[in-house]
Chain A
Amino acid sequence: AQTVTQSQPEMSVQEAETVTLSCTYDTSESDYYLFWYKQPPSRQMILVIRQEAYKQQNATENRFSVNFQKAAKSFSLKISDSQLGDAAMYFCAYRSANQAGTALIFGKGTTLSVSS
């Protein structure tokens, strides 16, 4: 079974600084997708970024980028130029590509606080 581990329960960053959130996963599959979701206090789960395992190029989305290391099974999220609105719980998630309707497997989350 696949597992996702986020080893940092809490992180903090100053406005305009850069922060990296860690995620590791365990799988025997070769084809899968990885995601980062953001859940602010409103509890709305928002997709931040996705990565296909077959792509070597790291995904980027504006101030958000990932460092995907397939051999190491590592998928970290870097937030550049942090803003107060980035404060939220961040979840790393794994999804198999082998079957339709496969559930996301989530880590326990990292709470990010942003100070001015």
Chain B
Amino acid sequence: ETGVTQTPRHLVMGMTNKKSLKCEQHLGHNAMYWYKQSAKKPLELMFVYSLEERVENNSVPSRFSPECPNSSHLFLHLHTLQPEDSALYLCASSQETGGSYEQYFGPGTRLTVT
């Protein structure tokens, strides 16, 4: 248990579906992250919310939409995905003020797009 939870753990969706991934951290951190882990590629940052500001990776397609309603919750809204979006999606959190900057990860959501 790292103090970061993700739901669902597994998701299969068609290309026309809309779904959302949820992440919650119980560590009192003030930054949260979405990473994508594909086979044979390094983990890639998708989005980060830090100190109430959103930092976006410009290479992320618009079919991925993040939402951070408060410092403990992070969502990733998915719509009209492509098969190449199948991957493990990891959420992480860190303390960015007076903290150690270590990122703690959730267990991930395994997404399959059919």
Which B93-114 residues have a C-beta within 8 angstroms of A?
94, 96-97, 100-105, 107-108, 110
B90 at the interface (CB under 8 A from A): yes
Given contacts A43-B88, A44-B2, A45-B90, whether A104 and B43 have CB atoms under 8 Å apart is: yes
Interface size for A (C-beta < 8 A) is 24
* Listed residue (B31, B90, B101) with the most chain A CB atoms within 10 angstroms of its CB: B101
Q: Is the CB of B55 within 8 A of A44?
A: no
Q: Which residues of the partner chain B approach A45 to less than 8 Å between Cβ atoms? A: 90, 92, 105, 108
Q: Is the CB of A46 within 8 A of B43?
A: no
- Give Cα A47 to B4, complex, Å: 13
Instruction: Indicate which residue in B40, B41, B53, B103 contacts A104 across the interface (CB closer than 8 Å).
Output: B103
Q: How many pairs, one residue from A and one from B, have CB atoms within 8 Å of each other in the complex?
A: 60
Q: Which residues of the partner chain A approach B96 to less than 8 Å between Cβ atoms? A: 100-101
Which A67-116 residues have a C-beta within 8 angstroms of B?
91, 95, 97, 100-109
Q: Which residues of the partner chain A approach B41 to less than 8 Å between Cβ atoms? A: 108
- Give Cα A101 to B100, complex, Å: 12
A25 at the interface (CB under 8 A from B): no
B11 at the interface (CB under 8 A from A): no
Q: Is the CB of B107 within 8 A of A44?
A: yes
Q: Is the CB of B33 within 8 A of A108?
A: no
Q: Which residues of the partner chain A approach B103 to less than 8 Å between Cβ atoms? A: 35, 47, 95, 104
Q: Which residues of the partner chain A approach B55 to less than 8 Å between Cβ atoms? A: 101
- Give Cα A91 to B105, complex, Å: 13
B75 at the interface (CB under 8 A from A): no
Q: Is the CB of A101 within 8 A of B49?
A: yes
Which A27-64 residues have a C-beta within 8 angstroms of B?
33, 35, 37, 42-47, 50
Given contacts A42-B107, A44-B2, A101-B96, whether A50 and B50 have CB atoms under 8 Å apart is: no
B81 at the interface (CB under 8 A from A): no
Given contacts A33-B101, A101-B49, whether A107 and B42 have CB atoms under 8 Å apart is: yes
- Give Cα A18 to B2, complex, Å: 27
* Chain B interface residues toward A at CB < 8 A: 2, 31, 33, 35, 40-43, 45, 48-51, 53, 55, 88, 90, 92, 94, 96-97, 100-105, 107-108, 110
